[in-house]
A = this chain, B = another copy of it.
Amino acid sequence: MPRKINIKRSVLAADEEFASKIREKLHKEGTLMVNLIGSPGAGKTTLLETTLGEIPFSCAVIEGDVATSRDAERISKTGTPVVQINTQGGCHLEAHLLWKALDEIPTSGLDVLFVENVGNLVCPAEFDLGEDYKVAVCSVPEGPDKPLKYPHLFHEAGAVVLTKVDLIPYIDFDGDLFWGDVKKLNPLASCIEVASLTGKGIDAWTDLLGRWLMEKRQ
């Protein structure tokens, strides 16, 4: 179906312009943008909640969901500025939606802008939002076979965060297989294990964010 491929390209090209505008704006303002991508229930919002309580930077969050504003309500309770985008059925965020949401967030003086993408391990990986880094968020209960089964995201990610490691005693999870496959797909990705509910590993994650922010501002 070459017809389908052509159209996809032209829509993507239009969206790339918005991604470039976002990249340019955040470059000027020295704001690090991190795009969190993972399955529904991978623990993206809980990771953000804990991160926002620990991180010594000024942050804002853009939440992407098919429906509801539950995640934005959770983030709002941390006192962090947050905007909810509802895609009304759409399976990923696109840059033109982000560009609009940025109207509602003053990025001047902001250190880190987190984007929590729609829960989906496939589609969001293909869309440039103008972010500095995509981060793959994957949870222990999903099983260790996900990197090779959904390779595109893991190949693109600046970091892979394995969440819910506090459940390892109750689940048969082969960590060597998981991290071995991540390394095969992407030898340069930072590899971090966290249990957001207990705080385990969050310091390694916030340290990484700090390094990324310093590199951006150098």
Contacts and interface: CB of A to CB of B under 8 A. Distances in A.
Given A67-B150, A91-B91, A139 B7 contact: no
Interface residues of A, number: 38
A167 interface: yes
A101 interface: no
Contacts of A11: 1, 3-4
A117 B91 CA distance: 16
Given A167-B170, A167-B171, A91 B40 contact: no
A122 B117 CA distance: 13
Interface string A123-147: 1001000000000000101110110
A148 B41 CA distance: 13
B170 A91 contact: no
B39 A70 contact: no
A123 B121 contact: no
Interface of A: 1, 3-4, 7, 11, 14, 39-41, 65-68, 70, 89, 91, 118-123, 126, 139, 141-143, 145-146, 148-152, 164, 167, 170-171
